[in-house]
Amino acid sequence: MPLLPDHDLLLLCKTAEQAAQASGKYIQSQVNASYTQGRKSVGSSLAAQVVTAVDLRAQEIILEHLATSIDTYELGLLTEEAEDNQSRLTQAYFWCIDPMDGTLAFTEQRPGYAVSIALISQAGDPVVGVAYIPDEEVLYSAVKGHGVQRNGQPFVRPEAQEATSLQVYDYRAIPQYAAARTGLETWASRNGVPQLEYRTGYGAVRNALAVMNAPLACYFKYPKPRQGGGNHWDYAATRIMFEELGLWVSNAQGQRLHLNHPKTTYMNIVGVLYATDEDLAKEVVRLGSE
């Protein structure tokens, strides 16, 4: 199939928005309900392993909305709660779905979870991205070349001059990150930023969206040998949003964040980096290489 024209991408974005909202409304209706909970034998953290019946039903709702588009446009599919059927490697585009990112936050009845749907080219570049925050009823969407919308209106970022702190998301208390923390404190002091704020507890999607909404912030995961570090579906929707806003998004080496690796969907080999400031991003890359 040739490259999809803008008209089709915009239609597919609307379809993804409807799917994300329907799934998200269901998710939010289950916050105080009883549901079965289990563990997946993947990933290196509890956040990566926890799964509920709500995740599975949320995925079903999304796939019901996307089924027609998959047939019409001959799209591949990659979704968290199903086996990778490798269609992402044979079709020109594929839907990349996380029915509920941040499941641990959901089970603990606290903010941090979101629905994420993206359309990615076989080359590993998202062209449509949708993220819905169920507990806030906020919908973000982006189509390549058309900017970012928040609840149907153009998204406007806060001015960098408004920054009173550097917000660091998903900070991990391990030696590699301790060194980065010291380096970021030095960077902040050098740039006249009075304080650093370390934020934890969100899923990957909410982390990236929080950075996107902050005057000065970053979210990063350095490479590690152990399987984990998130998957393609954790970063697909927010990558295109950052690109459309002209913000920094890359792997932890500062290179393109490729989202269709033929051998694995895990990101631990290359890591990820989101930042509101290019100089800040380059500092995170430098600190990770030391």
pLDDT tens digits along 161-200: 778 999 999 877 677 888 899 999 999 999 999 999 999 9
**pLDDT at residue 35 in the model:** 66
User: Could you state, in order of their start, the residue ranges of all structural domains in the chain?
Assistant: 6-154, 160-289
> In this predicted structure, what is the pLDDT of residue 33?
81
Residue 229 contacts residue 267 (beta carbons within 8 Å): yes
Could you tell me where the beta strands, DSSP code E, fall in 136-231? 138-143, 148-150, 153-154, 166-169, 196-199, 217-221
What is the structure's pLDDT at 162? Answer: 76
Architecture category of domain 160-289 in CATH = 3-Layer(aba) Sandwich (3.40)
**The CATH fold of domain 6-154:** Fructose-1,6-Bisphosphatase; Chain A, domain 1 (3.30.540)
Cβ atoms of 256 and 138 closer than 8 Å? no
At 54-91, the pLDDT tens digits run 999 999 999 999 999 999 999 999 999 888 999 999 99
Q: What is the mean pLDDT of the chain?
A: 92
Across the chain, how many H-helices and E-strands are there? 8, 14
- Residue 197 near residue 165 (C-beta atoms within 8 A): yes
Average pLDDT over residues 139-150: 99
Determine how many CB atoms are found less than 10 A away from the CB of residue 141.
26
